[in-house]
Structure 1
Amino acid sequence: MDKDKQTPLKLEHRLDAPPQEVFEAWINPAEMVRWWGPKEFKTTSFNADVREGGEWRAVMVGEDGKELPHGGRYLTIEPPRLLVFTFRWEEPDATDTEMRVSFEPDGSGTKLTLTQAPFADAEERDSHAEGWRELLAKLDHFLADNAS
């Protein structure tokens, strides 16, 4: 097996909001539509049945107008510390990855740890890493705007 397929994507990010607030931002579709996706994308819809076994689906639109639908199923929901769900692009031959997002108190903020696996190769993993970094930056701005 390709070693890169065995290496999950792992990102750590500190947010200036308490874990409960950050967790809520990850499970409230009305909030998620405002920050979900990389910087050059706008999320036009986010629907979620937030319960273990429930499904979620989002549609992002790029600057070129192309829609990128994707979704998955919630596997574990442990407020406000853990959210585990599948992620799958709606395209031929797409495979599920598992997302694990943990929320730990860090002073007055939250240390968010995101892992995702498996990937077909390192290029796919690294592409997702860039997208998640940009998404987390958008979440920073969203939380800051809501704190005001």
Structure 2
Amino acid sequence: MTVTTPSATEIVLTRSFAAARHLVFAALTRPDLLRRWYGAQGWNLVECDVDLREGGRWRFVSAGPDGDRMTQSGVYRQIRPPDRLVYTEVFADQSYPGTTLITHDLTESAGVTTLTSTIRYATSQGRDTALRYPMKRGVAESYRRLDALLETTGES
């Protein structure tokens, strides 16, 4: 996974998966699949509500080590299967101001899907705060779990 910071308020994560684009899109949007991969090592989704329509809301509650909980939610802004998903995100115990906008763009070539995720924070301080967290490690661990899921999902 590559991580870049193209502007003062953005982080861009890029990762390729050995799977068809429609399968990766499904893994980003279907609760039954999200529950199987979303979260860093030791974290699992215990609540996963998805109203997959533009203007629809989503809400995830993750449980981690020592009973820690993390709640995040937002609103879907654009849904264009299988190549684009745009939504807002706010954490219940957020340590930075404002709403974050996340854009996932998916491209496929020869059965390999590249997921480019642009995370745009409301402020540069928000972006900098997120960069201080172990976000890169957590997302990388989560994407390894997604790899394992995609290997077993097949062409369904």
- Aligning the two structures, in what range does the TM-score lie when normalised by the shorter sequence? 0.7 to 0.9
**Equivalent in the alignment of 1:124:** 130
Q: Distance in 1 between matches of 2:84 and 2:52?
A: 13
**TM-score normalised according to structure 1 size:** 0.88
Find runs of 4+ consecutive structure 1 residues off by over 4 angstroms: none
* 1:26-82 alpha-carbon deviations (Å, 9 max, x no partner): 111111111111122111111110000100001111111111111111011011000
Shift of 1:89: 0.5
Aligned length: 146
Q: 1:50 to 1:137 in 2, by over 3 A?
A: same
Q: Distance in 1 between matches of 2:36 and 2:97?
A: 26
List gaps (5 residues or longer) in structure 1. Answer: none
User: Which residues of 2 match residues 65-104 of structure 1 at below 5 A?
Assistant: 65-91=67-93, 95-104=98-107
Q: 1:126 to 1:42 in 2, by over 3 A?
A: same
**TM-score normalised according to structure 2 size:** 0.84
Q: Which amino acid is 1:106 matched to? A: S
Secondary structure at the aligned position of 2:39 is classed as coil
* 1:106-136 alpha-carbon deviations (Å, 9 max, x no partner): 2112011111121524242353333222222
RMSD of the alignment, in Å?
2.2
Q: Distance in 2 between matches of 1:86 and 1:16?
A: 27
**Identity level (%):** 27
Q: 1:27 to 1:12 in 2, by over 3 A?
A: same
List gaps (5 residues or longer) in structure 2. Answer: none
**Equivalent in the alignment of 1:46:** 48
Secondary structure at the aligned position of 1:21 is classed as helix
